[in-house]
A and B are shown apart, each in its own frame.
Chain A
Amino acid sequence: MSRRSRLAPALGLLPFLAYLTVFLLVPTVTVVIGAFQEDGRFSMTNVEALFGETARRTLWNSLVLSGSTAVIGATFGAILCYLVVSAPPTSIFRRAVMSVAGVLAQFGGVTLAFAFIATLSFSGVVTELLRDSVGVDVFGSGWLFGLPGLILVYTYFQIPLMVIVFLPALEGLRPQWREAAVNLGATTRQYWTQIAIPLLWPAFLGASLLLFANAFAAYATAATLVSQGQPIVPLLIRAALTSEVVLGRQNFAFALALQMIVVVAVVMTAYALLLRRTSRWLR
């Protein structure tokens, strides 16, 4: 094939590549370069500021929030998957569960924050119910609007995300494998501990990583729920972007965003590797 006829088809990709360059790559590169600049010159100030006390504490909070909700979400999500998977895929129960999971996992955090405001805030439905009936004050000193509240509301979208991500793996377990194990004299317990769980483990781990990245980068829930202080990285980015008083440094936002890219990229790479391992037996 001549050089020209080889190049011609590639031209068809140009609009797509140009579009992604403008709306995805340019913003990303802006962030990476901007993180190492101050007043238009090369500077390490902002990256160094990431190791300052505030930024370190915020990062730690973010890691705790993402880690704990990933573990909780993955565990309970996997249990829910197991309960759902026995229903046939076309059953209305299964469709409804999957649709609810899709909405809660992907539809965005503002609405979910309001769901919990309606439930557990000072005049929330459950708060009032418990106050009137048994005299317990679940509102306390306003934990819903701090880190503990974020953990609860994040769990509310992490479990559904786990259901979406993990269900294909659980579905991929062939009934024949169980039959074979039973034929060879395995008990239910042996089947689970020696066949199913070792097979599912990489998928479970991978899904947990995805949940971690999802929580780490989530913004809307926290922005709606927390109006005072910046307990986690996304909110610190908001402060750096919008507030002239607290930090007032656009480039510090770049550095924080770079930190987020690094964390998420590491986690997602590990996820991709684990996914490849699972896909070996899934198809």
Chain B
Amino acid sequence: MTPTRRWRAGRVVLLGLFGLFFLVPLYSMLDFSTRELGGGRTGQAWANLVQDPDLTSAIITSLLLALLTVVGMLVLLLPTMIWVRLRIPEASRLVEFLCLLPLTIPALVIVVGMRNVYTWVNYLVSDSALTLAFVYIVLVLPFAYRAIDAGLSSIDVVTLSEAARSLGAGWLTVMLRIVVPNIWSGLLGAAFISVALVLGEFTIASLTNYENLQVVINFLGKSDAKTSVAASLAALVFAFTLLMALSYVGRGRRGQERGAM
């Protein structure tokens, strides 16, 4: 069945309209951020991304937060999920439910209720913006869970670990040298999506008066809209690059497996 010519033309027109809707604002950001008063072009707004001290420190904060969140998420989630598969499969529904719960409890609700918890965190750990990583780990759980779960489902964890154990491996060896290398793409997927979410996070940071990238972009918007727009576009492009890379690494093998079934 070949599509008729009219349908093909209609498809192109529709795709063009969607492209226009989505690309015009992105193009406008580029145009707006490089505009100079009285005509002409300037790269000043883009240069500010590395020169403005507020912005650079916010970028560093957000990158560190992303790193801490990824490490914390892996340390918390990976052993738990492997443990559930190996020793208490009956708890898998509970863990899944808890991991997906942050989808139902919006970040806005968490930030409203977390003042007491953070009083303790600030008292026991520190009051730096990096403590936001604790709550960011919760925010990325649903996405990280799905990625890791997909990875674990594609291998036979029980058989692999029994084989390793019978050869004398301890639990740590099983986890780090048997399971992790086998679900590498799933872990990478979980890490990438977590980085993207943390770099885009605004709600919690702004309502707790911590300065991460998005808070500073928003704040700059009042005094220097061009730099804000440049930083926004840079952040979007960075996130796009991450997700594009993810589509090659994370889903490549699994997609083929599913297709073969």
Per-position 1/0 for B245-258, Cβ under 8 A of A? 01110000001000
A79 at the B interface (CB under 8 A): yes
Of the candidate stretches B79-87, B148-156, B158-166, B180-188, the one touching chain A is B79-87
Asked, given contacts A118-B28, A124-B32, A126-B28, whether A16 binds B76 with beta carbons under 8 Å apart, the answer is yes
Asked, given contacts A23-B117, A90-B255, A110-B202, whether A28 binds B109 with beta carbons under 8 Å apart, the answer is yes
CB neighbours of A10 from chain B (8 A): 88, 91
Of the candidate stretches A50-58, A97-105, A196-204, the one touching chain B is A97-105
A212 at the B interface (CB under 8 A): no
Per-position 1/0 for A211-232, Cβ under 8 A of B? 0010001011001100000000
CB neighbours of B206 from chain A (8 A): 220, 223
B106 and A260 contact, CB distance less than 8 A: yes
A245 at the B interface (CB under 8 A): no
B193-245: which residues lie under 8 A (CB-CB) from chain A? 193, 196-197, 199-203, 206-207, 214, 217-218, 221, 225, 228-229, 232-233, 235-236, 239-240, 243-244
A220 and B203 contact, CB distance less than 8 A: yes
B102 and A24 contact, CB distance less than 8 A: yes
Asked, given contacts A89-B255, A103-B239, whether A219 binds B108 with beta carbons under 8 Å apart, the answer is yes
Nearest-CB residue, chain B, relative to A8? B87
Per-position 1/0 for B25-36, Cβ under 8 A of A? 111110111000
The distance in angstroms between the C-alpha atoms of A89 and B217, with both chains bound, is 35
A93-147: which residues lie under 8 A (CB-CB) from chain B? 95-96, 98-100, 102-104, 106-112, 114-119, 124-126
A95 and B88 contact, CB distance less than 8 A: no
Q: What are 15 A-B residue pairs whose CB atoms fall within 8 Å in the complex?
A: A19-B76, A26-B113, A30-B116, A99-B243, A100-B240, A103-B243, A114-B225, A114-B228, A119-B25, A182-B1, A217-B106, A224-B218, A242-B207, A254-B113, A260-B106
B109 and A31 contact, CB distance less than 8 A: yes
B1-34: which residues lie under 8 A (CB-CB) from chain A? 1, 11, 14-15, 18, 21-22, 24-29, 31-33
CB neighbours of B47 from chain A (8 A): none
Nearest-CB residue, chain A, relative to B115? A30
Chain A nearest CB from B203 CB (Å) reads 4
A12 and B87 contact, CB distance less than 8 A: yes
The distance in angstroms between the C-alpha atoms of A265 and B54, with both chains bound, is 38
The distance in angstroms between the C-alpha atoms of A117 and B110, with both chains bound, is 29
Chain A nearest CB from B54 CB (Å) reads 15
Select the residue from B25, B80, B244 with max chain A CB neighbours within 10 A.
B25
Chain B nearest CB from A113 CB (Å) reads 8
CB neighbours of A95 from chain B (8 A): 244, 247-248
Having A103-B196, A237-B108, one finds 16 other A-B pairs with CB under 8 Å, namely A9-B83, A13-B84, A16-B95, A20-B138, A23-B114, A24-B138, A95-B244, A103-B239, A110-B217, A111-B233, A119-B24, A119-B29, A125-B32, A220-B214, A223-B202, A261-B104
B221 and A224 contact, CB distance less than 8 A: yes
A180 at the B interface (CB under 8 A): no
The distance in angstroms between the C-alpha atoms of A224 and B206, with both chains bound, is 11
Asked, given contacts A10-B91, A20-B138, A99-B247, whether A26 binds B116 with beta carbons under 8 Å apart, the answer is yes
A148 at the B interface (CB under 8 A): no
The distance in angstroms between the C-alpha atoms of A13 and B99, with both chains bound, is 13
B98 at the A interface (CB under 8 A): yes
**Other-chain residue from A80, A100, A108, A237 in contact with B200 (beta carbon distance below 8 A):** A108
**Other-chain residue from B109, B235, B255 in contact with A111 (beta carbon distance below 8 A):** B235
B217 and A260 contact, CB distance less than 8 A: no
A206 at the B interface (CB under 8 A): no
B105 at the A interface (CB under 8 A): yes
B26 and A23 contact, CB distance less than 8 A: no
The distance in angstroms between the C-alpha atoms of A188 and B237, with both chains bound, is 40
The distance in angstroms between the C-alpha atoms of A276 and B102, with both chains bound, is 19
Asked, given contacts A99-B247, A111-B200, A224-B218, whether A118 binds B117 with beta carbons under 8 Å apart, the answer is no
The distance in angstroms between the C-alpha atoms of A229 and B217, with both chains bound, is 21
Nearest-CB residue, chain A, relative to B110? A27
Nearest-CB residue, chain A, relative to B143? A106
Nearest-CB residue, chain B, relative to A118? B32
The distance in angstroms between the C-alpha atoms of A260 and B199, with both chains bound, is 25
CB neighbours of B200 from chain A (8 A): 106-108, 110-111
Chain A nearest CB from B153 CB (Å) reads 13
CB neighbours of B104 from chain A (8 A): 213, 261, 264-265, 268
Chain B nearest CB from A257 CB (Å) reads 4
